[in-house]
A and B are shown apart, each in its own frame.
Chain A
Amino acid sequence: MSELLIKNGFVFDPLQGIRGDRMDIAVKDGRIVETSALQHPETIDASGMTVMAGGIDIHSHVVGPKVNVGRLFRPEDKLFKSPLKRCNRMEMGFSVPSTFKAGYDYARMGYVFVNEAAMPPLHSPHVHEEIRDTPIIDNAAMPVFGNNWFTLEYLKNHEIENNAAYTAWLLRATRGFAIKVVNPGGTEAWGWGLNCENVHDPVPYFEITPAEIIAGLIETNEHLGLPHSVHLHCNNLGNPGNYTDTLDSLKLAEGYTPKNNFGREQVLHATHLQFHSYGGDSWGNFESRAPDVIDYVNSHDNITIDIGQVTLDETTTMTADGPFEHHLRALNNLKWANTDVELETAAGVVPYIYSPKVKVCTIQWAVGLELALLSKDLMRTFVSTDHPNAGPFIRYPRVITWLMSRAARDATMKTFKWLERTIDATSIDGIDRELDLYEIAQMTRAGPAKALGISNTYGGLAPGMDADIAIYALNPENMPENPEEIEKALSRCACLLKDGVVTVRDGEVLTEPPKRTVWVDVKVPENAQVQRDIYEHFLRYYSVNLGNYSLFEEHLFNPRVIEVDTTQ
Chain B
Amino acid sequence: MPKRIENVGCPYCGVCCDDLVVTVSDDGKKILEVENACAIGNQIYHHATESERVRLPRLRQPDGTYKEISYDEAIDYAARVLYNAKKPLIYGFGSTNCEGMAAAAKVGEKAGAILDNCASICHGSSLLAIFDNGYPSCTLGEVKNRADVILYWGANPAHAHPRHMSRYSIFPRGFFTGKGHKSRKIIVIDPRYTDTARVADIYLQVKQGYDYDLFNAFRTVARGHEIPEEVAGIKREKILEVVEIMKNARFGTIFYGMGLCHTDGRNHNIDIAISLTRDLNDFTKWTIMAMRGHYNITGPNQVWSWQYGFPYCLDLSKRDIAHMNPGETSSIDLAMRGEIDAFFNVATDAGAHFPIEAVKELRKHPWITIDPNICMASEISDLHIPVGIVGVEVPGIVYRMDNVPVQYRKVIDPPEGVISDEELFERIYQRLCELEAEDAAKERVKTTAEGIPAED
Number of inter-chain CB pairs below 8 Å:
205
Judging by beta carbons under 8 Å apart, are B6 and A547 in contact? yes
Judging by beta carbons under 8 Å apart, are A78 and B322 in contact? yes
Judging by beta carbons under 8 Å apart, are B134 and A73 in contact? yes
Judging by beta carbons under 8 Å apart, are A548 and B404 in contact? no
Stretch in B202-210, B221-229, B280-288 touching the partner: B280-288
Within 8 A of A (CB), among B317-339: 319-322, 324
Stretch in B50-58, B181-189, B257-265, B301-309 touching the partner: B301-309
Stretch in B64-72, B81-89, B136-144 touching the partner: B136-144
Asked, given contacts A193-B281, A548-B7, whether A133 binds B306 with beta carbons under 8 Å apart, the answer is: yes
Within 8 A of B (CB), among A84-133: 84-86, 89-90, 92-93, 96, 98-100, 122-126, 129-130, 133
Is A1 an interface residue, CB under 8 A from the partner?
no
Q: How far is the CA of A149 from the CA of B174 in the complex (A)?
A: 13
- Which residue from chain A places its CB closest to the CB of B302 in the assembled complex? A68
Residues of A within 8 A of B285 (CB): 190-193
Per CB-CB distance, the 9 closest pairs between chain A and chain B, nearest first, are A342-B141, A547-B7, A84-B451, A543-B141, A335-B134, A340-B138, A193-B285, A83-B453, A125-B405
Judging by beta carbons under 8 Å apart, are B139 and A82 in contact? no
Is B388 an interface residue, CB under 8 A from the partner?
no
Within 8 A of A (CB), among B295-316: 301-303, 305-311, 316
Is A337 an interface residue, CB under 8 A from the partner?
yes
Asked, given contacts A73-B135, A337-B135, whether A544 binds B18 with beta carbons under 8 Å apart, the answer is: yes
Q: How far is the CB of B255 from chain A (nearest CB, A)?
A: 14
Is A338 an interface residue, CB under 8 A from the partner?
yes
Is B25 an interface residue, CB under 8 A from the partner?
no
Residues of B within 8 A of A548 (CB): 7, 9, 18, 406-407
- Which residue from chain B places its CB closest to the CB of A542 in the assembled complex? B141
Pairs across A and B, CB under 8 Å, 10 listed = A84-B452, A92-B322, A98-B307, A99-B306, A123-B405, A129-B397, A192-B146, A192-B285, A329-B134, A342-B139
Within 8 A of B (CB), among A148-205: 149, 190-193, 205
Q: How far is the CB of A489 from chain B (nearest CB, A)?
A: 15
- Which residue from chain B places its CB closest to the CB of A149 in the assembled complex? B175
- Classify chain B's interface size: 35 or more
Q: How far is the CA of A125 from the CA of B9 in the complex (A)?
A: 15
Judging by beta carbons under 8 Å apart, are A75 and B324 in contact? yes
Q: How would you classify the secondary structure of chain A's contact residues: helix, strand, loop or mixed?
A: mixed
Partner of A69, one of B135, B308, B310, B397: B135
Q: How far is the CA of A73 from the CA of B403 in the complex (A)?
A: 14
Q: How far is the CA of A96 from the CA of B321 in the complex (A)?
A: 16
Q: How far is the CA of A191 from the CA of B135 in the complex (A)?
A: 16
Judging by beta carbons under 8 Å apart, are A90 and B251 in contact? no
- Which residue from chain B places its CB closest to the CB of A77 in the assembled complex? B309
Residues of B within 8 A of A99 (CB): 306-307
Judging by beta carbons under 8 Å apart, are B407 and A552 in contact? yes
Asked, given contacts A98-B309, A130-B306, A133-B307, whether A555 binds B135 with beta carbons under 8 Å apart, the answer is: no
Residues of A within 8 A of B281 (CB): 193, 326
Q: How far is the CA of A520 from the CA of B127 in the complex (A)?
A: 37
Partner of A543, one of B139, B173, B453: B139
Judging by beta carbons under 8 Å apart, are A84 and B321 in contact? yes
Q: How far is the CB of A278 from chain B (nearest CB, A)?
A: 25
Residues of B within 8 A of A67 (CB): 306
Is B449 an interface residue, CB under 8 A from the partner?
yes
Is A227 an interface residue, CB under 8 A from the partner?
no
**0 or 1 for each of A331-349: is its CB under 8 Å from B? (1 = yes):** 0001111111111001001
Judging by beta carbons under 8 Å apart, are A341 and B407 in contact? no
Judging by beta carbons under 8 Å apart, are A543 and B301 in contact? no
Q: How far is the CA of A130 from the CA of B139 in the complex (A)?
A: 20
Q: How far is the CA of A78 from the CA of B454 in the complex (A)?
A: 11
Q: How far is the CA of A540 from the CA of B306 in the complex (A)?
A: 33
Judging by beta carbons under 8 Å apart, are A339 and B18 in contact? no
Q: How far is the CA of A418 from the CA of B168 in the complex (A)?
A: 52
Is B133 an interface residue, CB under 8 A from the partner?
yes
Judging by beta carbons under 8 Å apart, are B175 and A540 in contact? yes
- Which residue from chain A places its CB closest to the CB of B141 in the assembled complex? A342
Find the residue from B19, B175, B176 having the highest chain A CB count within 10 A.
Answer: B175
Judging by beta carbons under 8 Å apart, are A541 and B141 in contact? yes
Within 8 A of A (CB), among B117-153: 127, 130-142, 144-146
Judging by beta carbons under 8 Å apart, are A85 and B320 in contact? yes
Residues of B within 8 A of A133 (CB): 102, 306-307
Partner of B306, one of A71, A82, A190: A71
Partner of B309, one of A84, A85, A93, A540: A93
Partner of A339, one of B138, B310, B322, B451: B138
Q: How far is the CA of A74 from the CA of B311 in the complex (A)?
A: 10
Q: How far is the CB of B332 from chain A (nearest CB, A)?
A: 19
- Classify chain A's interface size: 35 or more
Residues of B within 8 A of A81 (CB): 454
- Which residue from chain B places its CB closest to the CB of A550 in the assembled complex? B407
Within 8 A of B (CB), among A528-568: 540-548, 551-552, 554-555
Judging by beta carbons under 8 Å apart, are A96 and B309 in contact? yes
Residues of A within 8 A of B19 (CB): 545
Judging by beta carbons under 8 Å apart, are A342 and B451 in contact? no
- Which residue from chain A places its CB closest to the CB of B408 in the assembled complex? A548
**0 or 1 for each of B258-279: is its CB under 8 Å from A? (1 = yes):** 0000000000000000000010
Asked, given contacts A83-B451, A191-B285, whether A545 binds B18 with beta carbons under 8 Å apart, the answer is: yes
Judging by beta carbons under 8 Å apart, are B309 and A92 in contact? yes
Q: How far is the CA of A99 from the CA of B409 in the complex (A)?
A: 26
Judging by beta carbons under 8 Å apart, are B145 and A85 in contact? no
Judging by beta carbons under 8 Å apart, are B311 and A72 in contact? yes
Within 8 A of A (CB), among B88-118: 98, 102, 109
Judging by beta carbons under 8 Å apart, are B278 and A329 in contact? yes
Judging by beta carbons under 8 Å apart, are B144 and A543 in contact? yes
Residues of B within 8 A of A83 (CB): 451, 453-455
Judging by beta carbons under 8 Å apart, are B98 and A191 in contact? no
Q: How far is the CB of A546 from chain B (nearest CB, A)?
A: 8
- Which residue from chain A places its CB closest to the CB of B397 in the assembled complex? A125
Residues of A within 8 A of B399 (CB): 126
Partner of A554, one of B133, B167, B395: B395
- Which residue from chain B places its CB closest to the CB of A546 in the assembled complex? B7
Q: How far is the CA of A542 from the CA of B453 in the complex (A)?
A: 46
- Which residue from chain B places its CB closest to the CB of A124 in the assembled complex? B405
Q: How far is the CA of A190 from the CA of B281 in the complex (A)?
A: 11
Q: How far is the CA of A75 from the CA of B399 in the complex (A)?
A: 21
Judging by beta carbons under 8 Å apart, are B453 and A86 in contact? yes
Is B353 an interface residue, CB under 8 A from the partner?
no
Judging by beta carbons under 8 Å apart, are B405 and A129 in contact? yes
Judging by beta carbons under 8 Å apart, are A90 and B109 in contact? yes
Q: How far is the CA of A71 from the CA of B146 in the complex (A)?
A: 29
Residues of B within 8 A of A326 (CB): 281
Judging by beta carbons under 8 Å apart, are A338 and B139 in contact? no
Judging by beta carbons under 8 Å apart, are B139 and A122 in contact? yes
Residues of B within 8 A of A92 (CB): 308-310, 321-322
In the complex, besides A72-B127, A343-B145, 16 extra interface pairs with C-beta distance below 8 angstroms are A73-B130, A78-B324, A90-B109, A92-B321, A126-B403, A129-B397, A205-B176, A336-B278, A337-B130, A340-B287, A342-B140, A343-B141, A543-B141, A545-B19, A548-B9, A548-B407
Q: How far is the CA of A63 from the CA of B311 in the complex (A)?
A: 16
Judging by beta carbons under 8 Å apart, are B324 and A82 in contact? no
Q: How far is the CA of A100 from the CA of B320 in the complex (A)?
A: 14
Is B47 an interface residue, CB under 8 A from the partner?
no
Q: How far is the CA of A554 from the CA of B303 in the complex (A)?
A: 18
Q: How far is the CA of A352 from the CA of B248 in the complex (A)?
A: 31
Residues of B within 8 A of A125 (CB): 397, 405-407
Judging by beta carbons under 8 Å apart, are A342 and B321 in contact? no
Is B235 an interface residue, CB under 8 A from the partner?
no
Within 8 A of B (CB), among A316-362: 326, 329, 334-343, 346, 349-350
